[in-house]
Homo-oligomer: A and B are copies of this chain.
Amino acid sequence: MNKPFQNILKKVKKFRDERDWMQFHNPKDMAEAIVIEASELLEKFLWKSQKESTDFVKNKKNLEEISDEISDVLEFTIELADNLGIDIEKTIEKKLAKNAKKYPVHKSKGKATKYTKL
């Protein structure tokens, strides 16, 4: 994997291994952890309109809280990818190619419709 992921991964794994936590990091629980962290991120925007959520993140203190939640999501997701031997860049490229087939530009441009209903 490329550098920045390697830098982050090194730190994430150091944190984990100092605490001897790999024993808990099976794929099922890692997936649970990702959902739980993603929900904490979502909670920051609960009861806010789309416009209010856009304004909310302009405040420095709020943005820091949101950055923390985004970090938690990324730490677990990048570590899980690494645990499974997944090359993040390649796999995202492949997925974007699949998504491009599901969402052809001429059908999906300017529309937020799920591919099953396009």
Interface, chain A (partner B; CB < 8 A): 1-5, 7-8, 11-12, 15, 18-21, 23-24, 26-29, 31-36, 38-51, 53-54, 56-57, 63, 66-68, 70-75, 77-78, 80-81, 84, 86, 88-89, 91-96, 98-100, 103, 105, 108-110, 112, 114
- Cβ-neighbour of A77 out of B19, B39, B77, B114 (below 8 A): B77
Task: Give the shortest distance, in Å, between A50 (CB) and chain B (any CB).
Answer: 4
Could you list 26 A-B pairs, sorted by A, with CB under 8 Å? A2-B7, A3-B3, A4-B4, A4-B89, A7-B89, A11-B92, A19-B108, A26-B54, A27-B45, A27-B53, A27-B54, A27-B57, A27-B66, A28-B49, A28-B50, A32-B42, A32-B45, A34-B41, A43-B114, A50-B50, A67-B81, A67-B94, A68-B95, A70-B77, A71-B94, A74-B88
Given contacts A73-B77, A77-B77, contact A50 B26 (CB under 8 A): yes
Q: What 3 pairs across the A-B complex have the smallest Cβ distances?
A: A2-B4, A71-B95, A47-B112
Given contacts A45-B28, A98-B68, contact A93 B11 (CB under 8 A): yes
